[in-house]
Amino acid sequence: MKNVVLTIFILMMLPSVGCVRSLTHIQKARKGLMDHPKGEVRYPARVGDAAGSMVGFPACFVLLPVTIPLGHCLYPDKSREDAERRMWFLIYPAFYCQCTGTMITGGVPYLLFGWWGVNEPATVTENQLSDG
């Protein structure tokens, strides 16, 4: 069981090694689902976000024996930037669980009916107001 958890964690973290941009792209997609104009997409995404947070933060503590040495291997320098990166690296499991929960529960409704029918806000012209 321990090897399975370690393997899943390593596979989950591989995209982020040396590429912090992947996390920013995931965060942008997550924000797009959380702020979607249709409630059918927005509310499931928020539920998935909360569920991912509830799973992710305990996962941070469980995975500390893995993330601490991995952070020191990836950022070995004693500079302030590397120390900051090592500290953020400890909570990457929480970020990934939160984003994964949002993507799964908000992405499915988006594929079904979130991508169509999103109208721009209606604007009323003065001619329409005078017509009654």
User: 122 pLDDT exceeds 70?
Assistant: no
User: 14 pLDDT exceeds 60?
Assistant: no
Domain ranges of the chain: 20-114
Question: What pLDDT, on a 0 to 100 scale, did the predictor assign at position 19?
Answer: 44
Per-residue pLDDT band for 18 (boundaries 50, 70, 90) equals: very low
User: 38 pLDDT exceeds 90?
Assistant: no
Question: What pLDDT, on a 0 to 100 scale, did the predictor assign at position 125?
Answer: 62
In sequence order, which residues have a C-beta less than 8 Å from that of residue 93 and are 6 or more positions away?
9, 12, 13, 56, 59, 60, 63, 67
Output DSSP code: residue 121.
Answer: P
Mean pLDDT of the chain: 77
Question: Over the range 110-120, which residues count as b (16 or more CB within 10 Å of their CB) and which as e?
Answer: beeebeeeeee
d(CA 114, CA 4): 35
